[in-house]
Amino acid sequence: MRTAVAGYVQEIHRAYVDQAATFSPGVRGRMSLMTAGRITVAAVAARNLHVLATAESLGPLRAPEVATEAGYGGLTWELRFYDPVVLPDLGLLDEREAPAFDEVRRALGVGTVLYHVVAQPGAGLSGHQATHVGTGLANGHSAAARDFETIRSRVRGREVLVDELVGAVHAGLPRAQALLARAISPYDEGVRAACEDASPGGAPDPDAIRKALLSAVGGRTQWTPA
């Protein structure tokens, strides 16, 4: 199983790096995995298999933890394996209804992630599936980079707020993203709605905030301010 998971992660990263190579150098330079250098990937076996990458340190390896190292195209990573034997808190997670994304991160003590995907029982760990995951991640990260580049170019005098917003995105802080988006575009109704759209006790959707902010400044088409 460890070999299968290691191959799955390898294919995700291969597809990501190969897809990134099709973008301009400037876009590649703002994609999360391309700028992270060495990362840590945690394969977490609860009811579902969680695979998440972080730039944070998980500390020295301790028994009975197991880890492998690999790399591709300038991206290097350490893959660590966790299950309820290694990390007892995982045995308390309830995933009967849905994957416990936040709870897995808390069990690991990780606050920020570069990606977090789940392979549900029966989904398999094929190279074909991993290629789709890696390509999708790369396209998503490149789209976000282009969106923020566009937003930054159209909010003269508020560039520093956009830079802070990008930092909040990389840090995985959706509520901070909402506050910064409102500061960048305080009078746009779409931005307000995206920032306030969250379930009780939940957080707003970062993708929705970014898209609303992009729309508020005219989208990706040629645009002239009023």
Q: Which residues of 120-132 are buried (b: 16+ CB within 10 A; e: fewer)?
A: eeeeebeeeebbe
Whether 94 is in a domain gets the answer yes
Instruction: Give yes or no: residues 122 and 208 share one domain.
Output: no
pLDDT at residue 223, as a whole number: 46
Q: In terms of domains, do 158 and 113 share one?
A: no
- Are residues 25 and 131 part of one domain? yes
Unique residue bearing structure tokens 């789709």: 132
Same domain? 97 vs 132? yes
pLDDT tens, N- to C-terminus, the chain (226 residues):
889 999 999 999 999 999 999 988 888 888 889 988 889 999 999 888 999 999 998 998 888 889 999 999 999 999 999 999 999 999 888 888 888 888 999 999 998 889 999 986 556 788 888 999 999 999 988 888 889 988 998 999 999 999 999 888 877 788 999 999 999 999 999 999 999 987 666 788 888 999 999 999 988 665 444 4
Within-domain flag for 222: no
- Dist CA 104 CA 54 (whole Å): 13
* 164 and 129 co-located in one domain: no
Question: Dihedral of CA 99/103/107/108: which sign?
Answer: positive
- The answer to whether residue 226 sits within a structural domain is no
Single pTM value for the model: 0.77
33 & 94 share domain: yes
Backbone torsions φ then ψ of 205, nearest 5 degrees: -85, 115
Residue 64 belongs to some domain of the structure: yes
Domain span at 165: 154-216
pLDDT of residue 120: 67
Same-domain check for residues 64 and 160: no
Return the pLDDT at 201.
63
Of the candidates 108, 139, 170, which is a domain's last residue? 139
Q: Do 169 and 100 lie in a common domain? A: no
Indicate the number of domains in the chain.
2
Please report whether residue 128 resides in a domain. yes
